[in-house]
Amino acid sequence: MSEKIESQTVTMAHGAGGKQTSELIDKVFAAHFANPDLTADDAAVLNPPVGKMAVSTDGFIVSPAFFPGGNIGKLSICGTVNDLACMGAKPLYLTCAFVIEEGFPMEKLEQIAEAMAKTAKEAGVRIVSGDTKVAGKGQVDGVFITTTGMGQIEDGVQVGGELAKPGDAVIVTGDIGRHGCTILLAREDFGIEADVKSDCAPLWKTVEAVMDTTHELHVIRDATRGGVGTVLYEIAGQSQVGVQIDAAKIPVATEVQGVCGMLGLEPLYLACEGTMVIIAPAEQAEKIVETLHQCPYSQNAAIIGTITEENPGKVIRMTEIGTQSLLPQPGGELLPRIC
């Protein structure tokens, strides 16, 4: 690894395209991201994926940029890798574009780059190209990162929001709402002491393990903005089916449950960044959950409901005492800047 950059903070010169920009790229970004496909030119030259290619882009503006369980760097890799995984695509390449506020601490930028490199490595994706812009103090809040991922869609897998079928099982890969709850607590001073950590994690290997178990999968979707509730409404609409969930079976960490109780929040609408919804034929469900329990980020996976012919476009919640109620449709302003 090359020597450390001297400047303590990011300056306008680091974004001007000259000597200082090169130094920032070499000593902070390239030093961490180094791999044979990383380009120093305007564009990376790559072997394209075989078969079909999946492409996804995501902008990350999470505030605060550092939170229990991760930082904006880790999140910017997870978010895009998970979007590819939801299409059954193995992540191959990733680009990242930074907009950094003048005066941003160099040490924090290093930590972000380090987290990106570590997470990319874990996800098996190569960072191939980047861009750095610096905006004046007050023109951007800290650091924003946009990542774009390219993946190779695995043969024989066809998933999509419109493919849920009556009788299918609804699975969540882990306990829900942790990312949203973490950001909320990190941002607002509620005077609540709770040991909540974001679930932020790269899930390609989890999806791969599930696909190795069965190719009979109908929908895979990560429950980010809007949480599991929003995702279920999207699927209900796209597939024109009903979704019936069993409140007692939804895994929620005790500490998240506690915070939600105190603040009157519904965990189903809190964002996850390392938890997916999987919809698959009922006869595959047990096998899928068994596989998930063996993966590091899905030990709390559970079957939480079924797809129904009745109530198309709606999500119905069965309560512990046997009553049914309509889950209110999400809308309006949720907690902003959670990703």
User: What distance, in Å, lies between the first and last C-alpha atoms of the chain?
Assistant: 30
Asked if 146 and 100 touch (Cβ cutoff 8 Å), the reply is: no
Tokens of 40: 């120093």
Q: How far apart are CA 252 and CA 164, in angstroms?
A: 24
Asked if 45 and 156 touch (Cβ cutoff 8 Å), the reply is: no
CB of 339 to its own copies, least distance (A): 8
Among 191, 264, 322, 332, binds its own copies (CB under 8 A): 332
CB of 46 to its own copies, least distance (A): 5
Among 7, 13, 163, 258, binds its own copies (CB under 8 A): 13
Q: How far apart are CA 305 and CA 171, in angstroms?
A: 7
Return phi, psi of residue 12, to 5°.
-60, -35
User: Which listed range, 42-50, 177-185, 194-202, 252-260, lies at the site for its own copies (CB under 8 A)?
Assistant: 42-50
Q: How far apart are CA 167 and CA 38, in angstroms?
A: 46
Q: Which residues from 207-226 bind its own copies, rule CB under 8 A?
A: 221-222, 224-226
Among 25, 72, 75, 150, binds its own copies (CB under 8 A): 150
Verify binding: residue 181, its own copies, rule CB under 8 A. no
Question: Which of 303, 291, 332 lies closest to 205 in space, CA to CA?
Answer: 291
Verify binding: residue 87, its own copies, rule CB under 8 A. yes
CB of 332 to its own copies, least distance (A): 6
Verify binding: residue 6, its own copies, rule CB under 8 A. no
Q: How far apart are CA 37 and CA 315, in angstroms?
A: 45
Query: CA 28 from chain center: how many Å?
Result: 24
Is the Cβ of residue 318 or residue 334 nearer to its own copies in the bound state?
A: 334
DSSP code string of 273-316: SS-EEEEE-HHHHHHHHHHHHTSTT-TT-EEEEEEESSSTT-EE
Q: Which residues from 160-179 bind its own copies, rule CB under 8 A?
A: 160-161
Neighbour tally for 98: CB within 10 Å:
26
Verify binding: residue 313, its own copies, rule CB under 8 A. no
Is the Cβ of residue 100 or residue 255 nearer to its own copies in the bound state?
A: 100
Among 86, 123, 228, 235, binds its own copies (CB under 8 A): 86
CA distances from 41 to 23, 37, 95, 134 (A): 15, 11, 13, 20
User: Which listed range, 58-66, 200-208, 295-303, 311-319, lies at the site for its own copies (CB under 8 A)?
Assistant: 58-66
Instruction: State which H helix or E strand residue 213 sits in.
Output: helix 204-213
Among 29, 30, 56, 279, binds its own copies (CB under 8 A): 56
CB of 154 to its own copies, least distance (A): 12
Contacts of 255 (CB under 8 A, 6+ apart): 194, 195, 196
Is the Cβ of residue 167 or residue 336 nearer to its own copies in the bound state?
A: 336
Among 26, 114, 122, 141, binds its own copies (CB under 8 A): 141
Is the Cβ of residue 320 or residue 333 nearer to its own copies in the bound state?
A: 333
CB of 279 to its own copies, least distance (A): 14
Verify binding: residue 293, its own copies, rule CB under 8 A. no
Among 75, 77, 89, 280, binds its own copies (CB under 8 A): 89
DSSP β-bridge partners for residue 243:
307, 315
Q: Which residues from 110-139 bind its own copies, rule CB under 8 A?
A: 128-136, 138-139
Verify binding: residue 201, its own copies, rule CB under 8 A. no
